[in-house]
Amino acid sequence: MARPKRPPWQVEQTKNKIFQATLELFNRQGYEAVTIRKIARRAGCSPATIYNYYSDKDALYLDILTEGFAILYQLLQAEPRSRDPLVRLRAYTAVFYRFSLDHPYYYDIMFSFHVPKYLDYAGTPAEETAFAEKEVALKNIGLILEAMADFYRGCPALRSAPGMVTGRALTLLGTCHGIISLHRSGIWAELETDFSALYFSAVDDYLQKLTREKEELLAGEVRLRAARQQPTGEEYSSRRSFWKKR
Amino acid sequence: MARPKRPPWQVEQTKNKIFQATLELFNRQGYEAVTIRKIARRAGCSPATIYNYYSDKDALYLDILTEGFAILYQLLQAEPRSRDPLVRLRAYTAVFYRFSLDHPYYYDIMFSFHVPKYLDYAGTPAEETAFAEKEVALKNIGLILEAMADFYRGCPALRSAPGMVTGRALTLLGTCHGIISLHRSGIWAELETDFSALYFSAVDDYLQKLTREKEELLAGEVRLRAARQQPTGEEYSSRRSFWKKR
DNA sequence: AGGTTAATTGAACAGTGTTAATATAACTTC
DNA sequence: GAAGTTATATTAACACTGTTCAATTAACCT
């Protein structure tokens, strides 16, 4: 009984070649332009060979996607870890900004696009690769979450609003992504003059809001509840009672 | 010399059939699943016929895109036009929210996706259809811009920061879109509990920020400039000096 | 009726992702 | 070294995609 295999370093090498070829093609031309045959030609193999290493074209893309999240995570971690959580948050948003410019195609598939097959698994995650991708994506958000938790540490009101820290983190990320996304879509190209200024102004505004909120939280909830009398008629009043319920 | 045509109502009807078939298919299955042959079968014509009315598959999609913006515009306009600009803004964000849930596929191609051929015309817009689409898209943003301008009307500091109103409008829209987009991508599905609450909390926070800002603007710039002494070391301070320069 | 011509079509092309049968090549055992 | 075993690689095909073009249809005018 013989159990013959090709040298494992060789098979690993071909898989690497395929991955690398996909990466280069993808970073040059984006999602739509990359085809199995192009990848095969660049990797120096047959189109069918790819299916020995990836079940799907989507599976291959998932590897690319995961690589993208890994790169972003590395960039985020490379940032000097300041003791001030706000400095960290601000640095993260700057990294996020630069990433969207330096790796536009990565950014697209990571945040704007969708490899739908993998991103919404309503039931059990049939593919364990999908799990890995989700994990590495959440690691990125985890850094923001951690900084945000650090920022709000010591606020007594937090116990009654457990989802607040997460909400603040997701809102910050959402704001960053939204501005980047709409800018890149070109939908407001005629209106916007300075993208960078718009982005960081929004970020700073939100961070300032967080600072003010923390001060109020530390000053005690009483001031919060009294806050502002309900105005008459249709005049608008933004309540912040949300995080209290549920 | 004869100038024979098929009855014009008939040709208009086939074009309508094609458009309607695309619309229905699209709203059921989204961008990727819709093919020319499916459209043709549903419209009761040959695949080649479609190319009599649309130069491209992208051109056909552009019509769908435009329809999406038209629907959104209609929804925005249907909102009772309150005298308080903040009420209007808040209503717009609510419409935007509902639209993203009621017309998810529309939302994708309008804000997350990209028919890249048409959205980034660096030079002259070769296709006048692209122009029409841009126009109807900007009409939507125009409503927000108008409300925002109403809100800041009378603030004396605006003359030195002409881009501020636009920036605030785009930031509001960006925030809304970012949260919707990341929610729909599923990237933070494990973390987020109440999407609606997260969304409107972010909106209300921003509107509250605008209210505060306006108060400060009306109180005069002096208080703004003094604002807050620069903290020591690495501690973060969000400056709001941006809108002043340039 | 016959002519003109816009609208429609069937058939084909080049391309896509994917797969089944086949061929290759590396290892073990004789 | 030769034969056998088997993981890897390839060839050829399938069903599909968007798109084009020559040929056909059908409505109008003379």
A235 CA: distance to closest CA in chain B (Å): 6
B227: in domain: no
Site of tokens 């893309």 = A61
Considering the domain architecture, whether residues A180 and A101 belong to the same structural domain is answered as: yes
Residue A150 sits in a domain whose CATH number is 1.10.357.10
Check if A171 contacts B (Cβ < 8 Å): yes
Half-sphere exposure of A159 (CA within 13 A, CB side): 3
Burial class of residue B42, CB neighbours in 10 A (0-12, 13-18, 19+): middle
- Kindly give, in sequence order, each residue whose CB lies less than 8 Å from that of residue B141, ignoring residues fewer than 6 positions away: A187, A188, A191, B169, B170, B173
Q: How far apart are CA B30 and CA A147, in angstroms?
A: 38
| Near-strand D residues (CB closer than 7 A) | A 1-6, 10-11, 14, 45-49, 52; B 1-7, 10, 34-38, 47-48, 51, 55-58
Q: How far apart are CA B214 and CA B208, in angstroms?
A: 10
Residue B140 sits in a domain whose CATH number is 1.10.357
- What does the CA dihedral B157, B162, B167, B172 come to, rounded to 10 degrees? 60
Q: Which residue is nearest to nucleotide D28 (CA to C1')?
A: B4
Hey, which residues 89-148 in chain B have their CB within 8 Å of chain A? 90, 111-114, 119-120, 134, 137-138, 141, 145
A119 CA: distance to closest CA in chain B (Å): 6
Closest CA to A167 of A213, A102, A121: A213
B129: in domain: yes
Residue B13 sits in a domain whose CATH number is 1.10.10.60
Considering the domain architecture, whether residues A81 and A22 belong to the same structural domain is answered as: no
Look at residue A12 in the predicted model and tell me its pLDDT.
80
CB A234 within 8 A of CB B82: yes
pLDDT by residue for chain B (246 residues), tens only, comes to 445 566 667 778 999 999 999 999 999 998 888 999 999 999 999 999 999 999 999 999 989 999 999 999 999 999 999 999 999 999 999 999 999 999 999 998 899 876 555 544 333 444 455 667 788 899 999 999 999 999 999 887 777 787 899 999 999 999 999 999 999 888 898 898 899 999 999 999 999 999 999 998 888 654 544 444 444 556 666 555 444 443
Name the residue among B112, B185, B235 with its Cβ closest to that of A119: B185
Look at residue B112 in the predicted model and tell me its pLDDT.
83
A233: in domain: no
A214 CA: distance to closest CA in chain B (Å): 14
B33: in domain: yes
Query: Which uninterrupted H or E stretch holds A162?
Result: none
Check if B167 contacts A (Cβ < 8 Å): yes
Considering the domain architecture, whether residues A40 and A71 belong to the same structural domain is answered as: no
Considering the domain architecture, whether residues B85 and B47 belong to the same structural domain is answered as: no
Considering the domain architecture, whether residues B84 and B181 belong to the same structural domain is answered as: yes
- Kindly give, in sequence order, each residue whose CB lies less than 8 Å from that of residue A235, ignoring residues fewer than 6 positions away: B84, B86, B87
End-to-end alpha carbon distance in chain A: 64
A26: in domain: yes
Q: Over the stretch A1-47, which tens digit does the pLDDT of each residue have?
A: 445 566 666 778 899 999 999 999 999 998 888 999 999 999 999 99
Half-sphere exposure of B40 (CA within 13 A, CB side): 14
Considering the domain architecture, whether residues A41 and A136 belong to the same structural domain is answered as: no
Q: How far apart are CA B192 and CA A14, in angstroms?
A: 40
Closest CA to A168 of A225, A215, A210: A210
B241: in domain: no
Considering the domain architecture, whether residues A212 and A158 belong to the same structural domain is answered as: yes
Instruction: Give the count of domains, chain A.
Output: 2
Residue count of chain A: 246
- Does any strand C atom come closer than 7 Å to the Cβ of A56? yes
Collect all residues of chain B within an 8 Å Cβ-Cβ radius of residue A242: 197, 200-201, 204
- Answer whether B181 sits within 8 Å of A111, measured CB to CB: yes
Domain residue limits at B116: 58-222
Considering the domain architecture, whether residues A179 and A162 belong to the same structural domain is answered as: yes
Check if A80 contacts B (Cβ < 8 Å): no
End-to-end alpha carbon distance in chain B: 65
A52 CA: distance to closest CA in chain B (Å): 26
- Does any strand C atom come closer than 7 Å to the Cβ of A32? no
B243: in domain: no
What does each C-alpha distance from A11 to A40, A53, A57, B60 come to in angstroms? 15, 9, 19, 45
Considering the domain architecture, whether residues B199 and B86 belong to the same structural domain is answered as: yes
Considering the domain architecture, whether residues B113 and B183 belong to the same structural domain is answered as: yes
**Residue A113 gets which letter from DSSP?**
S
Q: How far apart are CA B135 and CA B66, in angstroms?
A: 9
CB B175 within 8 A of CB A209: no
Q: Over the stretch A119-144, which tens digit does the pLDDT of each residue have?
A: 443 334 444 556 677 888 999 999 99
Considering the domain architecture, whether residues B115 and B137 belong to the same structural domain is answered as: yes
Look at residue B6 in the predicted model and tell me its pLDDT.
66
A240: in domain: no
- Answer whether A202 sits within 8 Å of B174, measured CB to CB: yes
Considering the domain architecture, whether residues A27 and A92 belong to the same structural domain is answered as: no
Tokens of B36: 């020319």
CA A142 vs. chain centroid, Å, equals 10
